[in-house]
Structure 1
Amino acid sequence: MTDQTSTPDAPRRMRLTGLHHVTLISSDLEATSAFYGGTLGLAVERDERNPDDPGARHVWFGDGEGTPGTLVTFLEYPQMPTGQVGRGSTHHLAFGVTSGEEQVAWRDWLRSRGVDCTDVMDRGGLRSIYFRDPDGHILEITTRP
């Protein structure tokens, strides 16, 4: 069998290893850090100036080891207008947990911290809860039934 990447007429295929990170916009990185670090318990991986825009603060959250696939980053732009959901925007981020019990514990934890959170929803192959971060990004915690 030949490697398709070496054949001139073969379609080009990405060799994905997974999702590395997602970057969102924050209006206030102190509030974002309190939420993602304090409420959700993610570790701050990096807190720096963005190399592409040194005027913007850039904070990376993850599992504490910097593992690709656990990373959510935020650029701080307080002057930007509130986003609008539509084509070209991100609808939500989904975090996976290992069990329904852990998911229910997250729902209860979020509610105990004053975070408005849905009941567990059966999504046909997934079970989900939904809530929003301080900037209104929709977040999901999901697991298989």
Structure 2
Amino acid sequence: MRKLQAQGIHHITLTGADRQTSIDFWEGLLGMPFVFEQPNLDNPDEGHLYFDPGDGRLITVFTNETRKPDPKRTPTDPGCVHHLAINLSRATFSQAVTRLEERGIGHSGVKDRGFMDSIYFKDPMGFLIELACYRFEPPFGCSHADVMIEAHRIRVARGDYNIAEEHLADAIQLLVERRQQTLSRD
């Protein structure tokens, strides 16, 4: 059977509060330029704001001027979206705790995920946001996913519980050796 081959996420749409609260959060805190706005074409009582998360794709937010921020955690039942992870550079990630605290935003502190570091906090509507920073750069011509699949294979073969930096380093070496020739015998 033929697949409907995905080529990346086109956009993600979230339910936000009012227009200004949404702009203040997505652009004001997270630095995502506000690039487009129109009505929600399925609900004339709502606006539809578009933000660029840094890769040219889109995160969109439905707004309603009667909806106010509600910091209660959004549902995490099966079928619900648990959280949204946003990629940060190492330099920006190293400043994230300070910058969140400057704004009085509660957060999880830095969490060690083996192959990346994470910080969690909620948007104005209680939706969990993760700031994520990889602990590695993929070799030239490879993606983060290329490294992750190789690191996973190495981890499983070794019987290790989770991916660690050693698996990443070995995966990167393997990818370079496959891709790049050498005149050396060693």
Quickly name the TM-score band, shorter chain normalised.
0.7 to 0.9
> Are 1:25 and 2:15 matched, yes or no?
yes
Which of 75, 95, 100 is 1:105 aligned to? 95
> Are 1:12 and 2:2 matched, yes or no?
yes
Number of aligned residue pairs: give it: 131
1:36 is paired with a residue whose SS is helix
Q: Is the contact made by 1:104 and 1:120 (CA closer than 8 Å) also made in structure 2?
A: no
> Are 1:67 and 2:47 matched, yes or no?
no
Where structure 2 has 5 or more consecutive residues not aligned to the other structure, the ranges are 136-186
**Which structure carries more strand by proportion?**
1
Task: Specify whether residues 20 and 107 from structure 1 end up closer, same or farther in structure 2 by C-alpha distance, changes over 3 A only.
Answer: farther
Task: Specify whether residues 63 and 139 from structure 1 end up closer, same or farther in structure 2 by C-alpha distance, changes over 3 A only.
Answer: closer
Give the Å deviation of 1:112: 0.9
Give the Å deviation of 1:63: 4.7
Which of 39, 44, 49 is 2:34 aligned to? 44
Where structure 1 has 5 or more consecutive residues not aligned to the other structure, the ranges are 1-10
Q: Distance in 2 between matches of 1:44 and 1:98?
A: 20
Give the Å deviation of 1:79: 5.8
Q: Distance in 2 between matches of 1:54 and 1:88?
A: 27
Give the Å deviation of 1:133: 0.9
Q: Normalising to structure 2: TM-score of the pair?
A: 0.63
**Which structure carries more helix by proportion?**
2
CA RMSD of aligned residues (A): 2.3
Alignment match, 2:174? none
Alignment match, 1:76? 63
Flag the structure with more relative contact order, 1 or 2, with Cα contacts below 8 A and sequence separation at least 6: 1
